[in-house]
RNA sequence: UGGGGUGUCGCCAAGUGGUAAGGCAGCAGGUUUUGGUCCUGCCAUUCGGGGGUUCGAGUCCCUCCACCCCAUCCA
């Protein structure tokens, strides 16, 4: 397990393991085989498989195939491929919810026998009406009154296929008025006459997600069932089913985390499907698609996607991760791994006038000085070469480091050249450069003494191979694309005749390369042939020059909207008469307004306060304890383990100066746990306040002696450190130091 | 609107009453035969807003605001 800060799911797992709730952690990745997995699934895979791996547990791969209308074996293959490609191994065989249909059916029968499920026979529309809305309760269908026997018989006949689709459904009998819509007698089974891709026509009924999922988890011995946020409402049902069936423990629990969203990307199955169907992309594995197959074909490595998933973390806030983070991960992964070669994307011919004789073969390493890998190739150099069109400028902008009529440049691994003449066509476009090279400037043995601003890449004309380049860019032009209108029209540029050095084709040292100064490229696994090589651009290199150029131009930066003024929030809804009466009473008692309001508005709080007040302690202290501490406990569902008298006693302890406010919180905490009297807790734990400066002084001196840097920083004016020192004193005294005295002393001693 | 969630830097994200982690992006310098990499430095007096409790609050209390999810016989 790495040192990385643990996410909240791992904390839960760790705690459960520690408490002995489970002997071993079992998770599952449960996709429905109705579409191609995308990078959002990669995150889920990384969570499900990663957590199991980190805690020595197992992760199952389960096809959640309860809807015969949308599922297909080709998707199960795609899912298996994706998991395997990412480097994970599922425990045991691939599992299928459809394997549990019989067990699930038996559970349903059990529910019916318990009177907790019934066959409903109303039509869909009526059912919707009866369900009510989020604000209005629903009403139970008249069929809910059916006897257990009738339900059993009907359900059996449903299974046998004696009814048409929609004629009957099986529903749980829970609560039609539940504020959670998922609990309003949810469907458990529906009739479907479509053959299932695995069970064929064996079943005429199919379980719904909520019924099948929790039980499948249970059947498999899953301990932690991780899913995305939109299932939070379903958790209550998940628990209800397992609890109602009284399954033998241990049983699984569901936890939710936020799904992945990426900027400049769509993730929904529907929108992805639309891209494919409308031919916006070439298929599910189009390198611009956020599918695993797409990234894979683009040339992304599994490692890069996994580190990405680790980097973005696991939390519960809906968020959109910047696609730049993913791009960083692939660059970072490839940089130390892949060979550098030269490829000219937009060739511009250069004739080196003073170069005589045949082609010369130079030695060129495949890896730069900072990559500790061995390997090199022979690189032809001759009179005729090509450079990239963008590496020559007749009228260069300021800061341009490449070839110009007055600026020489180094040809990487070769010689320095100088421009002698620019040849143009009738349209005025540069078509060729006549140059001159310096024979004594050969790379590695340069004695010319010429200083150049940069080195550019090039290829020798007669040995270069023509290749096809597919330059991919973001599929969408807006950060949060909505529709197909947001497509980036330049997401793919095909360059038919780029020129590449021969070793890449002849030697094939790798399948991924860095084309120097151009980007990372991948030999397309589908279309590449020796006769017609095709490379996909995985990602560009970072380009600080281009960035600088762009900033020169007046970029119409989208103005950030000015912070919307928030209502002051100091106006509360009006109090009713009872509240008002209490409020006035409390104010008369001398309580400050804010506290009086809080107390007055909450009846439970108010009655607790009044009882405590009668039992003792100063009104003010009691009121503060009740508003700030008791309020928290009252919010919890569990009954209070302490009464008003104890709060009164706590207040007295505080009033008399026997304990500090900090200690009071600790005592209160102990009271909520044990329900003991505050005095008992104070005595048992020895929590009486230390107010004697002479007891505190040596402690503070020690702290000061132990933290010379912080003392220095404090003296330099870092006032925040003051809190640090007081904190140390409080910690060393287990919170018993009188903070006011500690403060005074710290200030005093720090000055010395 | 009833219920369930979430708000910490431009984007992610730690943080559980005691000096606001880290990554990406950005900025500035250095190294460099890739305008890449690498290195160094900078980048939240403040945690959605307002109050309160406390010696001390991103963390506790009250309250307001914003956003997401739930009314498929989908998962």
CA–C1' gap, A305 and B41, in angstroms: 31
Q: Is the pLDDT of residue A199 over 70?
A: yes
Amino acid A435: pLDDT: 98
Q: Which bases of strand B sit closer than 7 A to a protein CB?
A: 1-8, 10-27, 32-38, 45-46, 48-56, 60-65, 67-75
What is the Cα–Cα distance from A14 to A6, expressed in whole angstroms? 10
Q: Smallest CA–C1' separation from A311: which nucleotide?
A: B23
Long-range CB contacts (< 8 A, 24+ apart) of A193-197? Answer: A193/A161, A193/A164, A193/A165, A194/A68, A194/A69, A195/A68, A196/A65, A196/A68, A196/A71, A196/A98, A197/A65, A197/A68, A197/A71, A197/A72, A197/A73
Amino acid A584: pLDDT: 93
Count the neighbouring beta carbons within 10 Å of the beta carbon of residue A108: 23
Q: Outline which parts of chain A fall under CATH 3.40.50.620.
A: 3-98+212-312
What is the Cα–Cα distance from A330 to A539, expressed in whole angstroms? 8
Amino acid A559: pLDDT: 45
Q: Which of A6, A80, A269, A453 is catalytic?
A: A269
Which of the residue ranges A321-325, A403-407, A574-578 would you say has the lowest mean pLDDT? A574-578
Q: Which of A10, A32, A71, A624 is catalytic?
A: A32
- A723-741 average pLDDT score: 90
Give residue-wise pLDDT tens across range A539-580: 999 999 999 888 776 544 444 455 556 666 556 777 888 899
In the annotation, is A685 catalytic? no
In the annotation, is A271 catalytic? no
> How does residue A277 score in pLDDT terms, banded at 50, 70 and 90?
very high
What is the Cα–Cα distance from A385 to A404, expressed in whole angstroms? 17
- A703-709 average pLDDT score: 86
Q: Is the pLDDT of residue A324 over 60?
A: yes
Which of the residue ranges A252-256, A309-313, A528-532, A654-658 would you say has the lowest mean pLDDT? A654-658
Answer yes or no: are the C-beta atoms of A408 and A366 closer than 8 Å. Answer: no
What is the Cα–Cα distance from A133 to A322, expressed in whole angstroms? 37
Closest residue to B57 (CA to C1') is A723
In the annotation, is A465 catalytic? no
Answer yes or no: are the C-beta atoms of A172 and A116 closer than 8 Å. Answer: yes
Closest residue to B67 (CA to C1') is A318
CA–C1' gap, A518 and B28, in angstroms: 26
The chain-wide mean pLDDT, for chain A, equals 94
What is the Cα–Cα distance from A212 to A191, expressed in whole angstroms? 15
Is A537 in a helix, a strand, or coil? Answer: strand
Q: Outline which parts of chain A fall under CATH 2.40.240.10.
A: 340-544
| CATH code at A116-207 | 3.90.800.10
What is the Cα–Cα distance from A750 to A721, expressed in whole angstroms? 11
Q: What sign does the dihedral A444-A448-A453-A455 (CA atoms) show?
A: negative
CA–C1' gap, A179 and B71, in angstroms: 11
CA–C1' gap, A475 and B58, in angstroms: 38
Does domain A340-544 fall into CATH 2.40.240.10?
A: yes
Closest residue to B68 (CA to C1') is A318
What is the reported pTM?
Answer: 0.95
CA–C1' gap, A234 and B3, in angstroms: 12
Answer yes or no: are the C-beta atoms of A402 and A456 closer than 8 Å. Answer: yes
Q: Which of A6, A131, A157, A259 is catalytic?
A: A259
Q: In sequence order, what are the residues at sequence separation of 6 or more whose Cβ sits closer than 8 angstroms to the Cβ of residue A327? A: A539
Q: Outline which parts of chain A fall under CATH 1.10.10.410.
A: 693-751
What is the Cα–Cα distance from A91 to A99, expressed in whole angstroms? 16
Q: Smallest CA–C1' separation from A399: which nucleotide?
A: B35
**What are the Cα distances from residue A696, in Å, to A656, A704, A730?**
20, 12, 10
Amino acid A567: pLDDT: 65
Closest residue to B25 (CA to C1') is A324
Q: Is the pLDDT of residue A308 over 80?
A: yes
Amino acid A538: pLDDT: 98
Count the neighbouring beta carbons within 10 Å of the beta carbon of residue A74: 12
Q: Smallest CA–C1' separation from A124: which nucleotide?
A: B73
CA–C1' gap, A3 and B25, in angstroms: 25
CA–C1' gap, A265 and B68, in angstroms: 19
- Structure ipTM: 0.97
A421-455 burial, b at 16+ Cβ within 10 Å, e below that, comes to eeeeeeeeeeeebebbbbeebbbeeeebeeebeeb
> How does residue A637 score in pLDDT terms, banded at 50, 70 and 90?
confident
Q: In the CATH hierarchy, which fold is given to the domain comprising A693-751?
A: Arc Repressor Mutant, subunit A (1.10.10)
**From 3.40.950.10, 3.40.50.300, 3.90.330.10, 3.40.50.620, which CATH number describes the A3-98+212-312 domain?**
3.40.50.620
Q: Smallest CA–C1' separation from A401: which nucleotide?
A: B35
Closest residue to B18 (CA to C1') is A727
Answer yes or no: are the C-beta atoms of A675 and A642 closer than 8 Å. Answer: yes
């Amino acid at each position: 397990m790495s040192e990385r800060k643990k996410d909240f799911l791992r904390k839960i797992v760790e705690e459960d393991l520690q408490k002995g709730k489970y002997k071993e952690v079992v998770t599952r990745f449960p996709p429905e085989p109705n579409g191609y997995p995308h990078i959002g699934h990669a995150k889920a895979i990384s969570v499900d498989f990663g957590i199991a791996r980190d805690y020595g547990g197992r992760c199952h791969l389960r096809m959640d195939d309860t809807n015969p209308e949308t599922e297909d074996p080709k998707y199960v293959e795609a899912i298996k491929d994706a998991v395997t490609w990412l480097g994970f191994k599922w425990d045991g065989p691939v599992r299928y919810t459809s394997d549990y249909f019989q067990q699930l059916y038996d559970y349903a029968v059990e529910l019916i026998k318990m009177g907790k499920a019934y066959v409903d026979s109303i039509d869909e529309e009526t059912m919707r009406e009866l369900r009510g809305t989020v604000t209005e309760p629903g009403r139970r269908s008249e069929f809910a009154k059916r006897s257990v026997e009738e339900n059993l018989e009907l359900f059996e006949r449903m299974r046998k296929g004696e009814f048409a689709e929609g004629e009957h459904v099986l529903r749980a009998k829970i609560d039609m008025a539940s504020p959670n819509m998922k609990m309003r007698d949810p469907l458990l089974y529906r009739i479907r006459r479509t053959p299932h891709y695995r069970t064929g026509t064996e079943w005429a009924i199919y379980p719904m997600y909520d019924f099948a999922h929790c039980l499948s988890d249970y059947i498999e011995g899953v301990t932690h069932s991780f899913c995305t946020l939109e299932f939070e409402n379903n958790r209550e049902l998940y628990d209800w089913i397992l609890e109602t069936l009284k399954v033998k423990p241990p049983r699984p629990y569901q936890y939710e985390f936020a799904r992945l969203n990426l900027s400049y990307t769509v993730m929904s199955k529907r929108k992805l499907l639309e891209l494919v169907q409308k031919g916006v992309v070439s298929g599910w594995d189009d390198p611009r698609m956020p599918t695993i197959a797409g990234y894979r074909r683009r040339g992304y490595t599994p490692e890069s996607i996994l580190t990405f998933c680790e980097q973005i973390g696991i939390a519960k806030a809906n968020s959109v991760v910047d696609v730049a983070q993913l791009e960083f991960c692939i660059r970072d992964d490839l940089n130390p791994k892949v060979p550098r070669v030269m490829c000219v994307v937009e060739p511009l011919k250069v004739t080196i006038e003073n170069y005589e004789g045949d082609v010369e073969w130079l030695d060129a390493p495949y890896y730069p000085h900072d990559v500790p890998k061995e390997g090199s190739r022979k690189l032809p150099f001759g009179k005729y070469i090509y450079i990239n069109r963008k590496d020559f400028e007749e009228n260069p902008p300021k800061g341009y480091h490449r070839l110009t009529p007055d600026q020489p440049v180094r040809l990487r691994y070769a010689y320095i050249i100088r421009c002698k003449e620019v040849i143009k066509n009738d349209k005025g476009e540069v078509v060729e450069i006549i140059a001159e090279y310096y024979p004594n400037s050969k790379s590695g043995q340069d004695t010319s003494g010429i200083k150049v601003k940069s080195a550019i890449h090039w290829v020798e004309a007669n040995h270069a191979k023509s290749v096809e380049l597919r330059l991919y860019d973001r599929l969408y032009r807006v950060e949060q694309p909505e529709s197909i209108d947001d497509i980036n029209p330049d997401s793919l540029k095909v360059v038919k005749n780029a020129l590449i050095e021969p070793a890449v084709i002849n030697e094939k040292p790798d399948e991924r390369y860095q084309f120097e100064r151009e980007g990372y490229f991948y030999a397309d696994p589908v279309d590449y042939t020796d006769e017609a090589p095709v490379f996909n651009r995985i990602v560009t290199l970072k380009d600080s020059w281009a960035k600088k150029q762009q900033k020169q131009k007046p970029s119409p930066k989208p103005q950030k909207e000015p912070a919307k003024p928030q209502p002051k929030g100091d106006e509360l809804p009006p109090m009713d008469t009872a509240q008002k009466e209490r409020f006035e009473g409390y104010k008369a008692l001398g309580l400050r307004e804010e506290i009086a309001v809080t107390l007055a508005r909450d009846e439970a709080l108010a009655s607790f306060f009044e009882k405590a007040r009668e039992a003792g302690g100063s009104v003010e202290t009691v009121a503060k304890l009740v508003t700030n501490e008791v309020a928290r406990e009252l919010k919890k569902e569990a009954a209070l383990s302490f009464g008003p008298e104890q709060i009164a006693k706590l207040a007295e302890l505080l009033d008399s100066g026997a304990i500090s406010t900090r200690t009071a919180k600790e005592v209160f905490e102990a009271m909520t746990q044990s329900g003991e009297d505050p005095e008992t807790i104070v005595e048992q734990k020895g929590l009486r306040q230390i107010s004697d400066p002479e007891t505190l002084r040596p402690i503070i001196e020690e702290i000061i002696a132990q933290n010379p840097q912080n003392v220095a920083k404090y003296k330099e004016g870092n006032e925040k450190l003051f809190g640090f020192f007081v904190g140390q004193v409080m910690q060393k005294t287990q919170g018993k130091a009188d903070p006011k005295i500690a403060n005074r002393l710290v200030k005093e001693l720090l000055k010395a």
